[in-house]
Structure 1
Amino acid sequence: MFVVTNQPEAAPEFFARPSMTRKIAGKLESYVRMEKHYNTPDIEDCCNGHLLLFEEHVVVNPATRQWARLPPCPSTTSPEGADEGSGGFYDVYLVFDPTSSPHYNVLSMKNPLDYKGKVSKGSGWPPSVYMMRVYSSETRRWEERPFVREGGPLETTANVRASMGHATYWHEALYVHCTTDFIMRITLSNDKYQVIKFPAGINGTVYYELYLGKSKRQSGVYLALVDDQHQLQVWFLDEFGGKIEWMITIYDQEDNEGPIVEKILDWDSDDDNAVEIQDPDANCFYGYNQIFGFHLYKEIVFLRLSSSRVVAYHFNSKKIQELGKLPMKNHHHEMNTTFIYTPRWTGELSEYC
């Protein structure tokens, strides 16, 4: 997994088992040509083995050490038809599904707080038509596209408070953690989107440590948080049968027995034959404060504890596997964003020309 700190000049951290770090080039700046010699990679998104470094306009595959530079993103048009130019704040997301196409897309969305002044005062949010810019590696060009909202809005523009957060791509739809109250389900195939309210009682202004991800084990999207009582809560988004409903999967409360801890520093998630070790200090698990993300194939959530220990927590068995420590290289640095990374050894990226 890649870890971006709160220091923009610092290169991303790469956390993986020792055997994998000898195969994956986590030090991106060693082979990706930066536009300026003093630049460091700034990971904006990750999707199915590819990373997006948007400030450098680069898509990179760390496993093959190949990368491709995107052309500059053009100006866009406001809902009223006025040219906005290239200024303002945008959130960008990578869409890549190698099972359906060798090509990828990059989606550029106007930041909600920046978009706020571009729609009529008092109108519903998000807007009925959300103008976005989409890059296709197949056509090698950007295009501006109107995405039409399906269903009603959730709030007015006056209540828009925060920017975008984590995103995940699942079954031809991009799920984006948008503002503090909902996520957007964006479908590029028909240029439409839906708004999905957070589970009841969850407010992003209170629980800012929210993580949106996916797991193929349950075939869908998850939302996780650590509440102010240091308890882990996880919801699964049930979309079967045409319904959209959050189902609680974990509400982990401390019990007298405590969790089971397995210490495996060269951990392989496909090997479940680890020796179980009872840790006398197991209750320190309840001091974690940061979520790394979800395992793609198993009911596992990765966490970083306050002691810098990284653990894999199994939903059903309440088993914890200790994976090692991830101390920041500089004690002033803090973890800002994490990206669960799965190597992809095939495919080809070529320099944009």
Structure 2
Amino acid sequence: MMDMVHIDLLLEILRRLPPRSLAVSRCACTAWRAAIDHHRLLRADLLPLSVDAAVYDERSSEEPARLFGRPSTARHITSNLEYLADDRLDVRGVQDHCNGLFLTHGWMDEFRVKVVNIATRQWAPLPLLPCACSWPPAMCGRCRNNRYLVYDPTISPHYKVLYIPRILADTTCAEWPPTPYVMYVFSSRTDHWKETSFVREGAAAGTADDVNSCSYDPDEHMHYAAYWQGSLYVPSPRIKDDFLLRINLSSDKYQLIKLPKGRVESHFRLGKSKKGVYCVMNTNVRCTFRVWFLHESCGLTD
């Protein structure tokens, strides 16, 4: 047990730490955890001290994302989004989610995008993309789906949305992915989109022709991104192999990481844990999966 003098000294030191370091210090020992929790040093609105629910989103379904949580949690946290100002029927579903924030778009207008905090029921609309065209979303493959949330409440209450343009159907011979790769980044701090050029580190995966020649939708798997320690991991369009784009938002650079091989019909999903980014893929055996963890030190998967 620590005496009051030592507790006061500890609290004075802990109050000077940034949120991420404070969260790590909370795991040091029981006494530190009790001191941080009792004095509410971590902002509850930014970093809840417990997990209320897990998100399950099935892209092939038009139903809203599902939450798995305790019955007491389900009463005040819902994924139906019925509290949005617009008609609920105008909300198609969850396009992306990151650390408790949802990115939604409209049923009739996929350009109507909102960022929603399902725990606090607060939401904010995104301004239109500066590069958005006037075609209906069903006809335009360039302005659809490829928006990703970036949010770390241990660092900042602000979030970003990254828009990665699809490859144009009439583009030929160019290497894929291009360098520089022009993307658009929205910041809740500035409330506007910014055109940003990301430079590729390393070799290309193929050409634009390789992507356009796919017999199936090459962007089918460009969902389920993972955000980890300042970088966004996004599946690239399928060519001969599957790759990840590792996009560093602070250096404006990106690199390709080759994913493990699966069978032709394999579907993979990205996620993260305390160990980092991982990839889950179904196997040839029904209801069985394989999991690979990404080793950042060497850029390989095991």
TM-score by length of 1: 0.59
Higher-strand-fraction structure: 1
User: Would the alpha carbon gap of residues 143 and 92 (structure 1) be closer, same or farther in structure 2, given more than 3 Å must change?
Assistant: same
Q: CA deviation at 1:70?
A: 1.4
Tell me the equivalent position of 1:58: 114
User: Would the alpha carbon gap of residues 233 and 37 (structure 1) be closer, same or farther in structure 2, given more than 3 Å must change?
Assistant: closer
Tell me the equivalent position of 1:244: 299
User: Would the alpha carbon gap of residues 227 and 210 (structure 1) be closer, same or farther in structure 2, given more than 3 Å must change?
Assistant: same
Matched, 1:110 2:165: yes
Runs of 4+ aligned residues of structure 1 deviating over 4 Å after TM superposition are: 84-87
Taking the TM superposition and a 5 Å limit, the aligned residue runs for 1:165-176 are 165-176=223-234
Flag structure 2 segments of 5+ consecutive residues without an equivalent: 1-54
User: Would the alpha carbon gap of residues 236 and 11 (structure 1) be closer, same or farther in structure 2, given more than 3 Å must change?
Assistant: closer
Higher relative contact order (CA 8 A, sep 6+): 1
Matched, 1:96 2:151: yes
Matched, 1:232 2:232: no
User: Would the alpha carbon gap of residues 32 and 131 (structure 1) be closer, same or farther in structure 2, given more than 3 Å must change?
Assistant: same
User: Would the alpha carbon gap of residues 141 and 223 (structure 1) be closer, same or farther in structure 2, given more than 3 Å must change?
Assistant: same
Partners of 1:53 and 1:11 in 2: CA distance: 10
Partners of 1:95 and 1:210 in 2: CA distance: 21
Q: Determine what percentage of the aligned residue pairs are the same residue.
A: 40
Residue aligned with 2:244, SS: strand
Tell me the equivalent position of 1:189: 250
Contact 2:64 2:79 in 1 (8 A): no
Contact 2:232 2:247 in 1 (8 A): yes
Letter in 2 for 1:69: P
Q: CA deviation at 1:85?
A: 6.9
Letter in 1 for 2:278: Y
Matched, 1:155 2:206: yes
Q: CA deviation at 1:130?
A: 1.1
Q: CA deviation at 1:108?
A: 0.8
Contact 1:130 1:148 in 2 (8 A): yes
Residue aligned with 2:153, SS: coil
Q: CA deviation at 1:74?
A: 1.3
Tell me the equivalent position of 1:210: 268
Higher-helix-fraction structure: 2
Residue aligned with 2:89, SS: coil
Q: CA deviation at 1:5?
A: 5.5
Deviation sequence 1:319-351 (CA, Å, 0-9, x none): xxxxxxxxxxxxxxxxxxxxxxxxxxxxxxxxx
Contact 1:168 1:212 in 2 (8 A): yes
Letter in 2 for 1:32: L
Match of 2:71 among 15, 18, 21: 18
Letter in 2 for 1:194: Q
Partners of 1:37 and 1:73 in 2: CA distance: 23
Tell me the equivalent position of 1:6: 60
Q: CA deviation at 1:37?
A: 6.0
Partners of 2:193 and 2:235 in 1: CA distance: 23
Partners of 1:166 and 1:5 in 2: CA distance: 9
Contact 1:71 1:141 in 2 (8 A): yes
Letter in 2 for 1:188: L
Matched, 1:67 2:101: no
User: Would the alpha carbon gap of residues 61 and 37 (structure 1) be closer, same or farther in structure 2, given more than 3 Å must change?
Assistant: closer
Residue aligned with 1:165, SS: coil
User: Would the alpha carbon gap of residues 116 and 152 (structure 1) be closer, same or farther in structure 2, given more than 3 Å must change?
Assistant: farther
Partners of 1:17 and 1:32 in 2: CA distance: 24
Residue aligned with 1:89, SS: coil
User: Would the alpha carbon gap of residues 245 and 6 (structure 1) be closer, same or farther in structure 2, given more than 3 Å must change?
Assistant: closer
Contact 2:262 2:283 in 1 (8 A): no
Residue aligned with 1:42, SS: strand
Residue aligned with 2:245, SS: strand
CA RMSD, 1 decimal: 2.1
TM-score by length of 2: 0.69
Residue aligned with 1:43, SS: strand
Deviation sequence 1:72-105 (CA, Å, 0-9, x none): 11117xxxxxxx7775334100000111111110
Matched residues, number: 226
Partners of 1:221 and 1:5 in 2: CA distance: 21
User: Would the alpha carbon gap of residues 42 and 26 (structure 1) be closer, same or farther in structure 2, given more than 3 Å must change?
Assistant: closer
Taking the TM superposition and a 5 Å limit, the aligned residue runs for 1:332-351 are none
Deviation sequence 1:243-267 (CA, Å, 0-9, x none): 11101xxxxxxxxxxxxxxxxxxxx
User: Would the alpha carbon gap of residues 116 and 149 (structure 1) be closer, same or farther in structure 2, given more than 3 Å must change?
Assistant: farther
Contact 1:59 1:67 in 2 (8 A): yes
Taking the TM superposition and a 5 Å limit, the aligned residue runs for 1:257-276 are none
